[in-house]
Amino acid sequence: MEKAIVLDQQAIRRALTRIAHEIIERNKGIEDCVLIGIKTRGIYIAQRLAERIFQIEGQHIPVGELDITLYRDDLTIKTKSHDPEVKGSEIPVDLNGKTIILVDDVLFTGRTVRAAMDAIMDIGRPSHIQMAALVDRGHRELPIRADYVGKNIPSAKSERIVVTLEEVDEYDRVSIYE
Ligand SMILES: O=P(O)(O)OC[C@H]1O[C@H](OP(=O)(O)OP(=O)(O)O)[C@H](O)[C@@H]1O
Ligand SMILES: O=c1cc[nH]c(=O)[nH]1
């Protein structure tokens, strides 16, 4: 059941504009930066950030993609943890020496980001890896944090944050379900 809408279209737009500014500020521009979106919705968020960054800086930032699948071990074992694996990637540039900014819609246990970092390290040797999430809902199971957060949403572990984006879902919204 939908408990609350936590971000509407305007709030998502503002959050992404702020993150775009923060990325530029922290990296003193975007030279040698690459955005890498994680599977469906992270990819669209990365593309939106690249558009904002172009509007602000007048420079194109490369955007790559990682496709990560969940192998949930709670199907066989009574635990809620899961092990994501990388299914595929589309990386448009050489990652050696670059600052990679991983982008996802929701940061939860951190296991997806860990799998993404493993995949990046297999492809090249970036100088830095940063992380941007539209929503950080807490409950980390690994020592991973986001450098850029649209909104921190405290949640019960049993709840679910659902992000819908125009590109795939017709409208922009972040809701919490119980
Ligand atoms: O930090 P974690 O615990 O790894 O969770 C975060 C991941 O979970 C969600 O994907 P989900 O597997 O729900 O698939 P979806 O993107 O298709 O909704 C979300 O898009 C993140 O990629
Ligand atoms: O609540 C959650 C947890 C993981 N991934 C999501 O998209 N939502």
Give the Å distance between the CA of 109 and the centre of ligand 1: 9
Please name the residues in contact with 169: beta carbons below 8 A apart, sequence gap of 6 or more.
none
Q: Of the ligands numbered here, which is closest to the C-alpha atom of 110?
A: 1
Q: Of the ligands numbered here, which is closest to the C-alpha atom of 38?
A: 1
The pLDDT score that the predictor gives to residue 85 is 83
Q: Which atom of ligand 2 is nearest to the CA of 161?
A: 1
pLDDT tens for the chain, 178 residues: list them: 989 999 999 999 999 999 999 999 999 999 999 999 998 999 999 999 999 999 999 999 999 999 988 765 544 544 445 778 888 889 999 999 999 999 999 999 999 999 999 999 999 999 999 999 999 999 999 999 999 999 999 999 999 999 999 999 999 999 999 9
Given this structure, which CATH class describes domain 2-177?
A: alpha beta
Please name the residues in contact with 75: beta carbons below 8 A apart, sequence gap of 6 or more.
none
91 ligand 2 Cβ < 6 A: no
13 ligand 2 Cβ < 6 A: no
Q: Of the ligands numbered here, which is closest to the C-alpha atom of 156?
A: 2
The pLDDT score that the predictor gives to residue 88 is 86
Ligand 1 probe mutation, 71, 74, 86, 105, most atoms within 8 A of CB: 105
Domain residue ranges in the chain? 2-177
**Nearest CA to 148 among 99, 97, 103?**
103
Give the Å distance between the CA of 12 and the centre of ligand 1: 18
Both tokens assigned to 39: 């599977």
What is the spatial distance between Cα 42 and Cα 101, in angstroms, rounded to a whole number? Answer: 11
